Each structure stands twice: as C-alpha cells, then as structure tokens.
Amino acid sequence: MGYRDLTRRRFLQRTAAVAGAGMAARSFLLEGGPLAASVLPVAAQAGSAPGAAPSDTVRFGMVGIGMRGAGLLETSISLPGVQCAAACDLYEGRRTLARQILAKDTVPITARYQELLDNKEIDCIVAAVPDHWHKNIIVDACAAGKDIYCEKPMTHTVGEGFEIITAAGRFNRIVQVGSQEPSSVVYAKAKELLASGAIGKLTLVEATMGRNDHCGAWWYSVPPDLSPQTLDWETWLGTAPKRPFDGSRWARWRCFQDYGEGIPGDLCIHHLTGIHYVLGITAPPKRAFTQGGLYRWHDGRDVPDVMTTVYDYGDFSCTLRVTLNTETESGFRFMGDRGILEIHGVEDPESLSISPQDGADQDACTPAWPMGDMRQQYVHAWRAAHSSRPGSQQVTEAITYHAPPLYDDTRDHLFNFFQSVRMRRPSVEDEHFGNNAAIAIHMANESYYKDSAAVWDGSAKKVRV
C-alpha cells in the first residue's frame, strides 16, 4: 500500500466513524488555483510568440538541475509566457539532464551561475541548490538585478536571513521562497475557513510526517560517473568546511549539518510554512523545545532520524512530529473550541476536512452529587433550560474539500512567481515570510543540539538557548 493510499484509507475510515457517530458528512471538489483562474496577455499565452512584448514573456535562468530543479525546470517551461534562457549545474550529468528536458540545443547550459547573472536576456532566476548555497545565490541574483525563486528553507543559518532581507530591499528585487503551500488551493481553503471562525478559538496545532525507506531517509544513490572530473566539488562545497571529494555528501547532503538542516529544514519547513500561511503568522515562534535522536540510520549521517518539536506561538501551542523510521500519515490538525480542521498531506495535500464541535454539555454536569431533591431539581431545571427534544439538536456536519484531480501546487507556486516578475507585484512568499519560517527550523535544531529550550530574541535577531 502506497503512502497516499494509506492516508486515503485512514481518512475514509475516519469519515465512516464520524458518520456512525451521528455526524453527517459532505464532500466538495475545490476549484483550480491561480493558474487555472488566470487571464494572461495574449502574447504571453502564446509563450515564445514572435513580437511578444518583453514584459509578457518572462525569461528565467535555472540553477541546479537536481531532484527538485529538474521538476521545476520541466514545469516552468510548460507555463504560458515563460521561457528558459539558460541553465546551470556543477555536475556534468545534470547538465545533460537539463539538455534532455529542454530538448533544444539553443539554450546555453553552463557550470557557472555567474554567467546567468551576467546574461541581460534573463529576467529572473529559479534556484534549486542545496541549502548552504541559498543565501549566496539569492544575494548575488538581487545584486545582479534579477528576481529570484529559491527553494526552501530560505537559509542555512539565522544570520543569512537578514542578509537576504537587506539585499532584496537594497536592490528592490522580488524574492519568492519555494515552499509551495502559500500557492495551494487546499491551504487557501484552510486559511479561509480558519479566518471565518470555522473551528472557533484555535489553541493547538499538531502536524506529522513519517517515512520508512532509504529514499525517504535521504540516502540516495550516487551516480557511478560522479568524480572530481564530472563535478566541480570545490565550488559545490561553497562556504561549507573544505574536505576531499565525497560523492556521498553531494548526493545525500540532507544528512549532513554542513549543507542541510535535517528534518526541520527538509520537512518541518513545509509544516511551518503551511501553519504561518493559513494562520497569517508574521513572526517566528516565541520558544521551541525539541526531543529526538538518531535511532536507526547509522550510515555516517550527523542529523537525527526522529524529531518532535513543541513550539510556543503565544496564543496557541504547536507540535511537529517527524520520523524517518515508520511510514505514517502526513498532515495537520488545527484544533479549536468549535472543531477540528485537518489537512491530509503536506507538500501536495489531497484534501482538507472540517469536523465541527458545539462544545456544549450533553447533560447537567453534576458529578457525584448526593442523590435526592437538590440533584433532581438541578438536573430537571438544567434539562428544561437546555431542551433536548428530538429534532431540537443542531446537526453537525463534517465537510471535506478535495484538491482537483492531478492538482500540482508547485505549478501554481511557480506561476505566481512568474506573474510577480511580469506584473511587478509582491511575491506570495517573500523574504520576510521565508525568514520567519526558517528561523523556526533553526530554533528546533538549536534546541535539539544544545539540549535546551530555544527562545527567539527579536530585538537581537538571535536564537537564545
């Protein structure tokens, strides 16, 4: 049974249980997202139509053609009014892959991203490189006058976020971070429902994710032709500590603190982006406490395979639980005094459901009162005041909203970025948003590695442990 099937089966069981308990259930299909709803200038719809105004066709340079970048490249060139003007990767095999995806010989493909920044035909950059490279590529792109879509998490360290904010402001550039949740129709519906008070006062959020295979635990295969002859290893290391060529680190960088941030940076960043977006949060959490360990994957990695972080957001509490050792459901539960809103799935959620609760007593609340007149009169009066005549109870109805079939929120996220570039409108996930979510992941790691609560000190722009 696949991961998605597991999620769906659990969900159907839960819906059946709800219905069995006397709660009605309804299902709706959500409409398509920003791309489906868009009306583009005619020239942009024609993509590379000759004579299209420069403002209608957006030309991007692609940096990093790896697991994520290959998909971003493929999706971007399928969007109306978007063209790839050049692509770049440090590894020869990935440059070959770029050529295969682009299927034309006319697009320059290089190992140096500086060549893309110097190219006057390029309006913007899409970057999908390991996390320790994000800050330099964003700052360099801004300084070169290019807008940039950079993959999540925005930063590898807390200080980098403020450098990015300064650069984006100074060079007046559009930055969009690549956690796709703020462009998803499922998250948009969740945001609308929460804002309308559908679950009342929210006090607790739980989010989960669980995987159970080598790939899910980031132990990817190393291409046999990877060598210092086919990969520019020194440049790949960037600002990370110098070390001799190691193909395992190139392929499995998520497993090493020098390049990634483990579970928080790779996975919880999606939870945090989703939570910040649907709840309109514009600051990092106040405190974080993480517990976990490296229990299973003793393969040389230096990051844990199980982590649970409890965040204090001031007026609600939030727990994120991720394991790389067991396949489990993945999603969120937003809990309030009027019900629960669940999102099923995280990076590409299938649906959300809302199960209302009235929070009302079912009967007079008289635990262990002595039997006799006092109790009888009280219960009688309570029942008279809270009529329970048949038909008088409110019907509570669980509602599920499904994403459209084959819906791809990354497609909408890229589309939103190119629209921002084209129309000079703010990004849906700018550097401030990206920084707040990234700070939350750094707090989780600081707490884990220093074995202490991590507190955000906004005036010093530092995490205190």
Ligand X SMILES: NC(=O)c1ccc[n+]([C@@H]2O[C@H](COP(=O)([O-])OP(=O)(O)OC[C@H]3O[C@@H](n4cnc5c(N)ncnc54)[C@H](O)[C@@H]3O)[C@@H](O)[C@H]2O)c1
Report the side by side order of strands in the sheet with 339-344: 24-29, 397-402, 351-356, 339-344, 328-336, 202-210, 317-323, 306-312, 287-293, 454-457, 462-464
Helix-helix angle 409-423:67-77, to 10 degrees: 60
Q: In whole angstroms, how close is the CB of 218 to ligand X at the nearest point?
A: 9
Classified as helix, coil or strand, 356 is: strand
Nearer to ligand X, 107 or 193 (CB): 107
Q: In whole angstroms, how close is the CB of 457 to ligand X at the nearest point?
A: 27
- What are the tokens at 266? 């790779």
Nearer to ligand X, 66 or 81 (CB): 66
Q: In whole angstroms, how close is the CB of 119 to ligand X at the nearest point?
A: 15
Q: In whole angstroms, how close is the CB of 294 to ligand X at the nearest point?
A: 20
Nearer to ligand X, 180 or 208 (CB): 180
Q: In whole angstroms, how close is the CB of 399 to ligand X at the nearest point?
A: 27
Nearer to ligand X, 111 or 379 (CB): 111
Nearer to ligand X, 180 or 445 (CB): 180
Q: In whole angstroms, how close is the CB of 13 to ligand X at the nearest point?
A: 28
Q: In whole angstroms, how close is the CB of 79 to ligand X at the nearest point?
A: 17
- CB-based closest residue to ligand X: 66
Nearer to ligand X, 180 or 400 (CB): 180
Q: How many CA atoms lie within 13 A of 89 on its CB side?
A: 23
Nearer to ligand X, 66 or 356 (CB): 66
> Using an 8 Å Cβ cutoff, are 421 and 85 in contact?
no
Q: Which residues bind ligand X (CB under 6 A)?
A: 63-69, 88-91, 94, 113, 128-131, 133, 151-152, 178-180, 235-236, 253, 266, 347
Distance, in Å, from the CA atom of 189 to the CA atom of 185, rounded to the nearest integer, reads 6
Exposure string for 29-51, b = 16+ CB within 10 A, e = fewer: ebeebbbeebebbebbebbeeee
Nearest 5°: the CA angle 415, 420, 423 is 115
Q: In whole angstroms, how close is the CB of 246 to ligand X at the nearest point?
A: 13
Nearer to ligand X, 330 or 400 (CB): 330
- What are the tokens at 163? 């450098």
Distance, in Å, from the CA atom of 228 to the CA atom of 185, rounded to the nearest integer, reads 44
Exposure string for 165-177, b = 16+ CB within 10 A, e = fewer: bebbeeeebbbbb
> Using an 8 Å Cβ cutoff, are 75 and 410 in contact?
yes
Task: Give which of 213, 64, 37, 187 is closest to 132, Cα–Cα.
Answer: 64
